[in-house]
Structure 1
Amino acid sequence: MGKERDGAGQVRPTTSLSPSAEFPPLSAQDIETLRRLGEQWRVEKPARALPVDPELRPSRPGAARARGPDEAFRPDQPGELTATPAAERPDTSRGRFALRVRRVLLGPPLSSMSMLRERMRKLIALPVLSSDLLSSVAYGPEALLTILVLAGSAALGLSLPIAAALVVLMLAVGASYRQTVRAYPHGAGSYLVASDSIGPRAGLTAAVGLILDYVLTVSVSVAAGIAAITSALPALNPLSVPLSLAVIAALLAGNLRGIRVAGNIFAAPTYLFLVAIGGMTLFGLGQAVARGFTVIPPPPVPATEAISVLLIARAFASGATSMTGIEAVSNAIPALRPVEWRNARTLLTWMISILILLFVGLMLLTHLNGLVPRANETLLSQLAHRTFPHGPWYPIIQAATALVLLLAANTAYNDLPRLLYYMARDAYVPRRFLHMGDRLALTNGLVALSVAAAVILTAFRGRTQALIPLFAVGVFLAFTLSQVGMVNHWRRHRGSGWRRRAAINALGATLSAIVLVTAAITKFASGAWVVVVAVPTLVLLCLGIRRHYDRVRQAVSLHPTPTQLTSAERSEREMAQEFLPQRVHHLLVVPVARFDQAALRALAYVVSLGQPALAVHVSPEDQEADRLRDEWTAWGDHVRLETVVSPHREILEPLAQYIAQLRERQPDITLTVVIPEVVVNRPWQRFLHSQIERRLRRALRRLPGVVVTSMPIHLSEVHPQATR
């Protein structure tokens, strides 16, 4: 079983995705510290009876609890209620309208107990997880030939030997990932393998490579799909970018509906593509058999470069984009039905077999028909035209190709949110990526992927060939690290047949490294420099996020670290005094701008708490301060008032500085600042007020030992007669 590190840096076995990941359990050391603190916990005054029943039982004895569609909470057991859909219903008309729109677009919410039911069976998982891999044959062969044709038509004869080498790479990487699925059956793919077998930084580098790969998968797939449409309908070419953005929005909406629903929606186009391309390949090979496998000479193309090892390596690296998406199954194991790892291995075998058959068939047909890349028509479109010059088959093939390319991005929508989930659990990305939406989808990861892909696609104006140089570096960086990690895994565990398995992984690592280095060097000026720069930059960013979370963990940990103990020179028992109620000393401060209902309500609240209280007023001049003191005396001077005159009419900063100096004079007190605040009925009405309450709250939150709260007064609750 693989392992991962939790937010406290402790190693634990990996588990499937869980809605509870946002709330990790306490460690055994934390529990012991908590027990010792509880033994010292004392309350000076006995607890009074609660003024309201927290279980929300009927107030009249003998009355039955109301049940029905409007019941907000359902009792399950003593001390526990379950929120019903009525509790999630907004209390404003705008909120209810937004909820209705959300339900129409995404469907009703799913309970946490539905996670197992939402997993995919193999026939649905195959098109969902393989759409990226299988659709890459629509542009991978063309990318290979685009490089070869630089040496002229004569160089196109090298396409078949290069294709054979790529098949070896596909087999090696596919076999390696089959072993990865068995050795790490809980998902996370290259990230987990590299982290566990090489080290955290290697895992983080692999993860960053995959993140770039998935973002580019969406960009390239959507751009290639729109290119297939514009090849058949050239009039739509000026609308390529808007159409691409619309497709990304549709993919986001579909995936927000949940894994199973998205799978059912997007499965049919992949199967249609397999039937269409498979049928075209068989029919084209039949035509070749009828003419005795005679090769049609390609049109003459002048050479702009000489044939060289570097040119062949570039063609090999470009053609290797035909296998992007091969790691998808290893990342999405938890999305499959039990037994997850066994179903994942079966899926991977199917995917590799279909990929090799399609890739070899298309490369062979392209060679036999003497086709070369064109600027205004894709290679697959030319092949369909040549194979089916008449009848409905050409538009069917183009439609199937466009659909599968557009939906190939769905593989990234399945895998990237999961990768971000595992990285967030290890504290390398914001923890909000742990959150599951009401359809059990990792909503924040889906939105982040859509936004990033839309930005990249717009920046490159939807041109597939401009995006592909960025594509190979990230994905083969992850491939290489994953293969090296698996070699280390077998060397460390040395189970039965480990040498054979390590040899397969070593071959995959070598070939992947060749593609990685070749793509990084030869395509550097064409755009690969973006990925070369982005990978270390994002790694450093993730490490910075981890350091931040480590500092937060140390600051809020129930048990102090050795560093904390040394710097403070106090024992755990002495530090624990901060957490005991008998050691907390209060001072409540109420900023008062004028005498009104908001100020009176805040003052009544702080006095009712029975703690020392102080009112503070900042005046722009002495006359105004004197007037407020006179009003204070008329009221009865029930709370000590301190006025501060600000000659330059600054209100916020002098008030914040005054409260800060109160804290400095007595560091052991807890200052609770209760801010009177008027809550308006409409959002636009906020602009009619100074919002000094919000600004003061932001300023005071920076001060240690200061608690900031507000006493709201709603306009609907104001009693005009109270001011008369």
Structure 2
Amino acid sequence: MVTRLKRFLIGRPMKSDELGEEKLNKLKALAVLSSDALSSVAYGTEQILLVLIAMGTVALWYSIPISFGVLALLTILILSYRQTIYTYTTGGGAYIVAKDNLGTYTGLVAGGSLLVDYILTVAVSTSASTDAITSAFPVLHEHRVMIALLMILTLTILNLRGITESATILMYPVYLFVVAILLLIIGGAYQWVTGNVHAQTPTYGAAVPGITLFLLLRAFSSGCSALTGVEAVSNAIPNFKEPAPRNAAMTLIMMGIILGVMFMGISLLAYAYGIAPAAEETVVSQIASAVFGRGIMYYFIQAVTALILFLAANTAFAAFPLLAFMLAKDRFLPNMFMVRGDRLGFSNGIIFLGILSALLVIAFGGETENLIPLYALGVFIPFTLSQAGMMKRWITKKPPGWFPPFLINTLGMLTTLTICLIFLITKFSHVWTIFLFLPAVIFIFLKINQHYRDLADELRLDIATDKPRPKGSVIVIPVAGITQVVRNTISYAQSLSDDIIAVYVGFDEESIKKMEKKWEEWNPGVRLIVLRSHYRSIVRPLFKFIDTVEWKKAETDHVTVMIPQFITKRWWHNLLHNQTSLLLRAYLFARQDVKIATVPYRLKK
């Protein structure tokens, strides 16, 4: 039943040699890896206006120069990451660049920031998508958490089906969103040029009493949330068809152009139509309503906006498993993140991301707006470290023509560092938790790495001298009675050793005498040791006996506890039986010099 459901949800298993077919062309990669960045058009301008509105609608004209500042920063980031793609062709983005040039600890800061940011991406994107839906259908507002969780579940299953299949499905809504926003911009611009816009527009350049540099910087940092997701292409170079670096660089440039045009278009329309942020309706919804009215086009734009915000989380599903794989490869995350699933994707990373983001949505009740500054800062820290790493690389290696790229990366580093400082200063109340979770994440990385190093030291052997040493074997079989299960276990034990001891733990004299008599009559060729338990515990007397055997046999023989266990035909039959064998195994696993074996006997009814 479970297997059939799994096959239905994620499809047939794929062979390892089919991995080449799971690579993306530029068109599909743009849809999968740019959905996060492109979706920020839906809330980037709104984040700027939410800060400026504190000074009244007269201050909203500042959104235009601030938007141009965000566009300039986008250009710098695109040029910088294009260089990273050609230099580090195996992917990994900020983590690999920082680790290679600035050291392991710096790399872990970048990697940890990105991992946490991808979790925030899924939570914020699905919650923002829910906002778009509830803007059009307010009656659904109280069900926002359930809607967001259903979105996360859908994306998790979709990505478990494989990156190519998910890209094919996701490609259409992403491009529909691009078309919808471009139609909105063109329609709005036409209405504006023809003089059909009669909204009260804030006077551009008008003096705003009480405006401060602090407020403007805060608005600028909020608008920079539109740049989240730009790094995803450089992280996911292995997912591209060959030539992977060239295809990735072209995808990055296309993403930058589309994002820049749409972001500036929405910002200009918001100013032209005198749009102010509202609690119950998004800025994009207000613009669409003003341009097209509440007709088919309005609901089409709202639908694809909700869809792209939902799919924005898919960028994280594409990048998180790859980054987790690289950290696991360096022994900073568990090995399970290196395992490919049935559909050749890193399934454990996908599932882990889905679970953590769902928990985040539940914890915040679907109201994740306060996470956006933290979400943006989580990107700008790796941005800064990546640019700093590239600067050091150019200075150290000095390849031909190194100075212009060095200047680009220097400008990028100084700009993103400034943004980080602005975030910390202007939004400290929202981002202070980064000083808690980032050290905690790095501490976990280091502890995992320490465990793997300790494990390697302990398991390493000298192949010249460390040879297997043959020993005898004494087998201890705990028995609860004379049954087919016990007969099956003794038969198997007799094929391995002549030194076999059956141990029975009795609670009263009557049961002990009855067992001794039946064993003597059965006479299986194995001696029976009977132990008396005064406290009705099977484990404690058995352990004392094993200690005795272990002490006597430690120098010459292996001591193996062979546990008889019957396997029920139906899963619910297990609920009807005491799981003594599981208890014994759990306790015995902690024993250093005792081997454990389970001999199953499968029931037919």
Deviates more, 1:343-352 or 1:209-218: 209-218
Within 5 Å, which residues of 2 pair with 1:194-593?
194-291=98-195, 296-298=200-202, 306-389=210-293, 391-526=295-430, 528-559=431-462, 573=465, 576-577=466-467, 580-582=468-470, 584-593=471-480
SS for the counterpart of 2:21 is coil
**1:218–1:453 CA contact under 8 A, matched in 2:** yes
Q: Distance in 2 between matches of 1:399 and 1:288?
A: 24
Deviation at 1:624, TM superposition (A): 4.1
TM-score (norm 2): 0.94
Q: 1:670 aligns with which of 553, 558, 565?
A: 558
Deviates more, 1:661-670 or 1:355-364: 661-670
SS for the counterpart of 2:20 is coil
Deviation at 1:635, TM superposition (A): 4.1
Question: Is the alpha carbon distance of 1:654 and 1:309 closer, same or farther for their aligned partners in structure 2, counting shifts above 3 Å?
Answer: farther
Structure scoring higher RCO (CA < 8 A, sep ≥ 6) equals 2
SS for the counterpart of 2:476 is strand
Deviation at 1:665, TM superposition (A): 4.2
Q: What's the counterpart of residue 711 of structure 1?
A: 599
Q: Distance in 2 between matches of 1:708 and 1:305?
A: 79
Q: Distance in 2 between matches of 1:600 and 1:102?
A: 38
Q: What's the counterpart of residue 679 of structure 1?
A: 567
SS for the counterpart of 1:415 is helix
Deviation at 1:666, TM superposition (A): 4.1
Deviation at 1:469, TM superposition (A): 2.6
Q: 2:488 aligns with which of 566, 589, 601?
A: 601
Within 5 Å, which residues of 2 pair with 1:636-655?
636=523, 638-655=525-542
Q: Distance in 2 between matches of 1:147 and 1:599?
A: 75
Within 5 Å, which residues of 2 pair with 1:131-210?
131-210=35-114
Deviation at 1:707, TM superposition (A): 1.3
Question: Is the alpha carbon distance of 1:597 and 1:698 closer, same or farther for their aligned partners in structure 2, counting shifts above 3 Å?
Answer: same
**2:46–2:277 CA contact under 8 A, matched in 1:** yes
Q: Which amino acid aligns with 2:588?
A: L
Q: Distance in 2 between matches of 1:146 and 1:393?
A: 26
SS for the counterpart of 1:588 is strand
**1:656–1:696 CA contact under 8 A, matched in 2:** no
Question: Is the alpha carbon distance of 1:312 and 1:659 closer, same or farther for their aligned partners in structure 2, counting shifts above 3 Å?
Answer: same
**1:614–1:642 CA contact under 8 A, matched in 2:** yes
**1:298–1:371 CA contact under 8 A, matched in 2:** no
Q: What's the counterpart of residue 27 of structure 2?
A: 123
Deviation at 1:260, TM superposition (A): 0.9
Q: Distance in 1 between matches of 2:7 and 2:287?
A: 44
Deviation at 1:404, TM superposition (A): 1.1
Question: Is the alpha carbon distance of 1:389 and 1:715 closer, same or farther for their aligned partners in structure 2, counting shifts above 3 Å?
Answer: closer
Deviates more, 1:211-220 or 1:461-470: 461-470
Q: Which amino acid aligns with 2:474?
A: L
Q: Distance in 2 between matches of 1:453 and 1:330?
A: 23
RMSD: 2.4
SS for the counterpart of 2:14 is coil
Unaligned runs of 5+ in 2: none
Q: Percent identity?
A: 38
Deviates more, 1:655-664 or 1:284-293: 284-293
Q: Distance in 2 between matches of 1:699 and 1:182?
A: 54
SS for the counterpart of 1:115 is helix
Deviation at 1:620, TM superposition (A): 2.5
Question: Is the alpha carbon distance of 1:661 and 1:180 closer, same or farther for their aligned partners in structure 2, counting shifts above 3 Å?
Answer: farther
Residues 342-366 of structure 1 deviation map (CA, whole Å, 9 limit, x = unaligned): 1000011111111111122222222
SS for the counterpart of 1:638 is coil
Deviates more, 1:693-702 or 1:363-372: 363-372
Q: Which amino acid aligns with 2:540?
A: E
SS for the counterpart of 1:139 is helix
Q: What's the counterpart of residue 107 of structure 1?
A: 11
Greater share of residues in helix: 2
Question: Is the alpha carbon distance of 1:640 and 1:389 closer, same or farther for their aligned partners in structure 2, counting shifts above 3 Å?
Answer: closer
Deviates more, 1:309-318 or 1:283-292: 283-292
Deviation at 1:678, TM superposition (A): 2.3
Q: Which amino acid aligns with 1:698?
A: A
Q: Which amino acid aligns with 1:388?
A: F
SS for the counterpart of 1:117 is helix
Q: Distance in 1 between matches of 2:258 and 2:115?
A: 25
Q: Distance in 2 between matches of 1:275 and 1:350?
A: 15
Within 5 Å, which residues of 2 pair with 1:12-91?
none
**1:424–1:431 CA contact under 8 A, matched in 2:** yes
Q: Distance in 2 between matches of 1:691 and 1:702?
A: 18
Q: Distance in 2 between matches of 1:157 and 1:318?
A: 16
Q: Distance in 2 between matches of 1:171 and 1:452?
A: 32
**1:128–1:410 CA contact under 8 A, matched in 2:** yes
Q: What's the counterpart of residue 656 of structure 1?
A: 543
**2:132–2:302 CA contact under 8 A, matched in 1:** yes
Deviation at 1:416, TM superposition (A): 0.7
